[in-house]
Structure 1
Amino acid sequence: MWLWLLALLGLWLLRRWHRERQTVPGLTEKFVLITGCDSGFGSVLARQLDARGLRVLAGCLTEQGAMQLRADASPRLQTVLLDVTSSSSIAATAAWVQERVGERGLWGLVNNAGIAIPTAPNEWLRKEDFVKVLNVNLVGLIEVTLSLLLQLKRARGRVVNVASVMGRLACFGGGYCPSKFGVEAFSDSLRLEMRHFGVKVSIIEPGFFKTNLTNSEAMEKNFISIWERLSDETKASYGKDYLQKFLTATREMGKKCNPNLSLVTDCMEHALTSCHPRCRYAAGWDAKLLYIPLCYLPSALSDIFLSWSYPKPSQSE
């Protein structure tokens, strides 16, 4: 009985491996737009796809980021200044993309742009702190996607949305986790709708990687500035040592972040170039072996596990 089950499992894994090795033909003629290419995953992916011969359209927030990327890539790669929180910037980018792809349509859209700051315990934050993150990570992602759907349908292409394991399991406050939960929901509904048009939608769920989003120094400045604006009563409820505990936990988390960004960009590349892309890609061993399994546990158990590494207010000790 067990031998039959193992044999079936082995055959299924072999079939999956064979299917996922099949590559889309004519990649050198396909255009891919990537948002958030100034640094991090976006910059690495843009250069990675350019090296493979795809026609990369890189959306950068700053001219400096665009210049650096052009210097590191081939003449095929083109850049455009794109602010995903600006409707006019998104509309201008959509028109710019249309001029370049023509009747072929847009093969790939990688919604990579994202921010994590402001972040802090929810009680410390204001509405505008949440809105700032949501506007980039979720609302901007949705507007960029909607502006390019006709071109993606024309090419029967791909949408690759960068979510996070924090879109499965929220373990810190602020707008980042809600935005990534939203990316998951939007991607799932879009995948169901677009399957009738031949457009495939994939979600990338990275663990913790060393990017600007996890920069310990920026996080510390963020926590200090938010702490300083809190009322004396709120500070007292957490205890005078709480901020220092939070900063120490942030530094320790920063040390554990994976510097190998290609683990994520390889997933993105596969989603764009494979004949049979996955619906979801978990990137990084912490995602695969810790956070994804944790999200399937009863909340009471996952809460106990996550609370071990979360700073505790002095009054609760």
Structure 2
Amino acid sequence: MWCYVILFAIVWTIGWFLRDRQTISRLSDKHVFITGCDTGFGNLLAKRLNRKGFQVLAGCLTEKGANDLQKACPTGLKTTLLDVTNQESIKKAVEWVKAEVGDRGLYGLVNNAGVANPIGPTEWMTLGDYRKVMEVNAFGTIGVSLGFLPLVKQARGRIVNMASVLGRISANGGGYCVSKYAVEAFSDSLRRDLQHFGVKVCIIEPGFFKTAVTDLDSIEHSLKQLWDQMPPETRKSYGDVYYQKYMKVQRLIMNFICDVDISKVPKCIEHALQAAYPRTRYSPGWDAKFVWLPASYMPAFIVDAVLALVLPKPEQRVR
């Protein structure tokens, strides 16, 4: 009996591996539009896809980002300015892409643009802090997807949305985890709705990587702003010791857990665009695979207890 089970598992694994390695052809005929290409994952992805032979259309927030990327890839890549929080900017980008792709439609849409700060204890936040992150990560992804859907359907193409492993488990307060949970839910709904039109939707769930999003100086500056802006009674309930220890924990986590090889994320996106049978979810990073994803399947009381051990205790906590 067990021999048959083991044989089936081996055959299934080999079949999955061979299927996963099948790729599409004629990349030079396919246009891919990427948001957030000024730096980080988006910038690296645009350059990788350009070398692969895709026709890359890169959306950048700043003129400097657009000019630098264009200089790095003078052929096979074009840039445009895009603010994913501005509906008029999205409309202009859609019209620009429509003129570039013509009757072929848009083969690939990569919603990469994102921000993280502010992160920190929930009570330290204002509603505006949440809105700032949600506007980019969640509503930006939704707005861009809705705007480009007709072009993607025309090409029977693919949409790749940048979520996070923190869209599977909420490890800190602030808008980041909330926004990435929203991206996960939106992407699942979108995939099920668009399968009838031959459109595939993939989700990227990176762990922690050394990018601008995990920059310690930026995180510490953001935390200090939160600390300074909160009401005195709230600050007193946590205490200065909590604030200092919380900063120390962030330094330890970012220094220990962040992967320096950020190419792992663009490689996953590249597979999602080039594979004949792309996966529904990709989780690049050792911490995503061995820490956060396993934790997301554990009982909540276990995860709560572990995080309580890692994070400092407020001064006026209930004892």
The alignment's TM-score, normalised by the length of structure 2, stands at: 0.97
Task: Please give the alpha-carbon distance, in whole angstroms, between the structure 2 residues aligned to 1:121 and 1:260.
Answer: 29
Task: Please give the alpha-carbon distance, in whole angstroms, between the structure 1 residues aligned to 2:229 and 2:316.
Answer: 21
Unmatched segments (≥5 aa) in structure 1: none
**Matching residue's letter, 2:23:** T
Residues 67-216 of structure 1: pairs in structure 2 closer than 5 A: 67-216=67-216
**Matching residue's letter, 1:271:** A
**Matching residue's letter, 2:207:** G
Give the deviation of 1:129 after TM superposition: 0.5
Task: Please give the alpha-carbon distance, in whole angstroms, between the structure 2 residues aligned to 1:150 and 1:187.
Answer: 17
Matched, 1:267 2:268: yes
Equivalent residues of 1:165, 1:291 under 8 A apart: yes
Q: Which residue of 1 aligns with 2:282?
A: 281
Give the deviation of 1:311 after TM superposition: 2.4
Give the deviation of 1:32 after TM superposition: 0.3
Give the deviation of 1:196 after TM superposition: 0.5
Deviations 1:113-136 (A, max 9, x none): 000112221101111110000000
Give the deviation of 1:307 after TM superposition: 2.3
Deviations 1:247-286 (A, max 9, x none): 1111112212111111111110000000100000111111
Q: SS state of the match for residue 308, structure 1?
A: helix
Higher mean C-alpha deviation, range 114-123 or range 214-223: 114-123
Give the deviation of 1:42 after TM superposition: 0.3
Task: Please give the alpha-carbon distance, in whole angstroms, between the structure 2 residues aligned to 1:212 and 1:312.
Answer: 28
Q: Which residue of 2 aligns with 1:17?
A: 17
Q: Which residue of 1 aligns with 2:5?
A: 5
Deviations 1:91-149 (A, max 9, x none): 00000000000000000000000001122211011111100000000001101000010
Give the deviation of 1:175 after TM superposition: 0.6
Give the deviation of 1:308 after TM superposition: 2.4
Equivalent residues of 1:50, 1:74 under 8 A apart: no
Give the deviation of 1:169 after TM superposition: 0.3
Higher mean C-alpha deviation, range 179-188 or range 253-262: 253-262
Higher mean C-alpha deviation, range 145-154 or range 68-77: 68-77
Task: Please give the alpha-carbon distance, in whole angstroms, between the structure 1 residues aligned to 2:309 and 2:111.
Answer: 33
Give the deviation of 1:315 after TM superposition: 3.6
**Matching residue's letter, 1:182:** A
Q: SS state of the match for residue 205, structure 2?
A: strand
Task: Please give the alpha-carbon distance, in whole angstroms, between the structure 1 residues aligned to 2:107 and 2:168.
Answer: 28
Q: Number of aligned pairs?
A: 317
Matched, 1:293 2:273: no
**Matching residue's letter, 2:170:** A
Task: Please give the alpha-carbon distance, in whole angstroms, between the structure 2 residues aligned to 1:261 and 1:290.
Answer: 18
Q: Which residue of 1 aligns with 2:248?
A: 248
Q: SS state of the match for residue 194, structure 1?
A: helix
Unmatched segments (≥5 aa) in structure 2: none
Q: SS state of the match for residue 161, structure 1?
A: strand
Taking only aligned residues, the RMSD between alpha carbons, in angstroms, comes to 1.1
Give the deviation of 1:7 after TM superposition: 1.6
Q: SS state of the match for residue 159, structure 1?
A: strand
Q: SS state of the match for residue 206, structure 1?
A: coil
Higher mean C-alpha deviation, range 79-88 or range 113-122: 113-122
Task: Please give the alpha-carbon distance, in whole angstroms, between the structure 2 residues aligned to 1:208 and 1:158.
Answer: 25
Task: Please give the alpha-carbon distance, in whole angstroms, between the structure 1 residues aligned to 2:15 and 2:264.
Answer: 23
Give the deviation of 1:313 after TM superposition: 1.5
Task: Please give the alpha-carbon distance, in whole angstroms, between the structure 2 residues aligned to 1:107 and 1:267.
Answer: 17
The alignment's TM-score, normalised by the length of structure 1, stands at: 0.98
Task: Please give the alpha-carbon distance, in whole angstroms, between the structure 2 residues aligned to 1:261 and 1:3.
Answer: 41
| Percent of pairs with identical residues | 48
Q: SS state of the match for residue 33, structure 1?
A: strand
Q: SS state of the match for residue 240, structure 2?
A: coil
Q: SS state of the match for residue 202, structure 2?
A: strand
Equivalent residues of 1:160, 1:203 under 8 A apart: yes
Deviations 1:51-84 (A, max 9, x none): 1010110110001111111122241110010000
Higher mean C-alpha deviation, range 304-313 or range 14-23: 304-313
Task: Please give the alpha-carbon distance, in whole angstroms, between the structure 2 residues aligned to 1:311 and 1:184.
Answer: 30
Give the deviation of 1:312 after TM superposition: 2.0
Deviations 1:233-252 (A, max 9, x none): 11111112111111111111
